[in-house]
Amino acid sequence: MKDGRKEEYIYAGIPTYMGSEFIKENDIEKYDVVFLGVPCDYGASYRLGAKYAPRQLREYSFWDRVYGEELYDLDHNEYLKSNELKIADLGDVYVNPTNPKVNQNAITKKVYSIAKNSFPLVCGGDHSITYGSFRGFYKAMKERYPDYEIGLMHFDAHMDVEDKYLNMPDVWHGNVFRNLIEDGYLDGKNMYTIGPRGVVGREWFDYVQEKKINLFTANQIKDIGILNVINKIKEKNKDKKIKFYITFDIDCLDVSYIFGTGTPQCNGLTPYDCDEALRHLHELDIAGFDIVELNPKLDDSHTSFVIAEELLYHFLAFGLNKEKLK
Ligand SMILES: [Mn+2]
């Protein structure tokens, strides 16, 4: 590699996200994309460990750079050039593990400060962090683009619209989107949930219907193909002014690919499905992204992170439309 990559081996050096600069909030505006870790897992109802994900993802991102390099794509038989992005790493939210409300506010504040001037790339944490993150994104977008709607593309094995559960925090990883809808940050009609499967409580399905959330189940994706799903979303939004946030729950992938997640499910998406989806978003205005539910404690090989990072790299390098970042 002649540019972009510092003279360091993949396994050496201080692993900021993609080897980028570690910055403070004052410098956000100088960068196209700013990475933020949210190391918490108190919102997970089952197998804990997602709080270790941001550091692990940084380590496996270290070989990737997005600086406009000339490449050849063996998957699509074509020459291509990657985006040229200035990326920075803002570090992690200072998590308060015993006070979820304080924590959600801290997440909102950080993501707001990124989204005001740049593109937030957030790594959880369990899926509860998307409440604070999306709220910060929403606030920043409403200030920057008052006449735009705010949409959500949600990749997940689950619909995450349940209600309160036992003694879990008010916002836990099973009810994030119900909370965002009920609190007025999200309109179900602008939400696209991709990948759910299995048998669920009928009231959760009824809620999705009632709020008109656009649901594409894993079996539908197998039937019609992921690109047809993405095209349907593009078609529906082609005349709209709408800024999208992507929330990517790694458990949308089939458990046979991803061991490193707390609530896995079989019959899921393939890495190819996800890769194709994330690389074909150019017509959509994607302005923020989070990846959640990675858990290094459940995958000693860490291949879950290698796959996750490959997807993120392909999204940043080829899927993100840089022209729409302004
Ligand atoms: Mn989820």
Q: Which of 99, 93, 153 is nearest to 123 (CA)?
A: 93
pLDDT tens per residue, range 35-67 = 999 999 999 999 999 999 999 999 999 989 999
Neighbours of 211 (CB within 10 A): 17
Q: Is 189 helix (H, G, I), strand (E, B) or coil?
A: helix
CA 158 to ligand 1 center in whole angstroms = 6
CA 227 to ligand 1 center in whole angstroms = 22
Token reading at 227: 């690109």
CA 42 to ligand 1 center in whole angstroms = 14
Using alpha carbons only, how large is the chain's radius of gyration in Å?
18
CA 281 to ligand 1 center in whole angstroms = 21
What count of Cα atoms within 13 Å lies in the side-chain half-sphere of residue 139? 16
The pLDDT of residue 187? 98
CA 157 to ligand 1 center in whole angstroms = 7
Q: Is the dihedral of CA 207, 239, 290, 70 positive or negative?
A: positive
CA 252 to ligand 1 center in whole angstroms = 8
Q: Is residue 102 within 8 Å of residue 32, measured between CB atoms?
A: no
Q: Domain 17-325 is classified in which CATH homologous superfamily?
A: Ureohydrolase domain (3.40.800.10)
Supply the DSSP string of 45-89, one letter for each residue. SS---GGGHHHHHHHHHTT---B--EEEETTTTEEEE--B--EEE
The pLDDT of residue 6? 59
Q: Cα separations (Å) of 129 from 59, 101, 108, 286?
A: 21, 11, 9, 19
CA 21 to ligand 1 center in whole angstroms = 30
Q: What is the pLDDT along the chain (326 residues), one digit of tens a residue?
A: 445 555 678 888 889 999 999 999 999 999 999 999 999 999 999 999 999 999 999 999 998 999 999 999 999 999 999 999 999 999 999 999 999 999 999 999 999 999 999 999 999 999 999 999 999 999 999 999 999 999 999 999 999 999 999 999 999 999 999 999 999 999 999 999 999 999 999 999 999 999 999 999 999 999 999 999 999 999 999 999 999 999 999 999 999 999 999 999 999 999 999 999 999 999 999 999 999 999 999 999 999 999 999 999 999 999 999 999 98
CA 219 to ligand 1 center in whole angstroms = 18
Domain definitions of the chain by residue range: 17-325
Q: Quick one: CA torsion of 133, 139, 145, 146, rounded to 10 degrees?
A: 150
Supply the DSSP string of 94-136, one letter for each residue. ---TT-HHHHHHHHHHHHHHHHTTSEEEEEESSTTHHHHHHHH
What count of Cα atoms within 13 Å lies in the side-chain half-sphere of residue 145? 19
CA 173 to ligand 1 center in whole angstroms = 6
* Number of DSSP helices (H) and strands (E) in the chain, helices first: 9, 11
CA 201 to ligand 1 center in whole angstroms = 16
The pLDDT of residue 107? 98
pLDDT tens per residue, range 277-294 = 999 999 999 999 999 999
CA 34 to ligand 1 center in whole angstroms = 23
Work out whether strand 149-155 and strand 87-92 pair parallel, antiparallel, or are unpaired: unpaired
CA 161 to ligand 1 center in whole angstroms = 9
The pLDDT of residue 7? 66
CA 2 to ligand 1 center in whole angstroms = 39
CA 102 to ligand 1 center in whole angstroms = 21
CA 37 to ligand 1 center in whole angstroms = 17
Q: Which amino acid is at 313?
A: Y
CA 325 to ligand 1 center in whole angstroms = 26
CA 261 to ligand 1 center in whole angstroms = 10
Beta-carbon neighbours within 5 Å of ion ligand 1 = 127, 156, 160, 249
Phi, psi of 289 (to 5 degrees): -155, 135
Q: Cα separations (Å) of 195 from 52, 119, 185, 251, 264?
A: 25, 25, 22, 9, 12
Percent of the chain whose predicted confidence (pLDDT) is above 90 = 95
Q: What is the pTM of this model?
A: 0.97
Query: Which strands, in side-by-side order, build the sheet including 119-124?
Result: 21-22, 87-92, 33-38, 119-124, 286-292, 242-249, 149-155, 191-194, 214-216
What count of Cα atoms within 13 Å lies in the side-chain half-sphere of residue 39? 13
* Cα distance between residue 60 and residue 260, in whole Å: 14
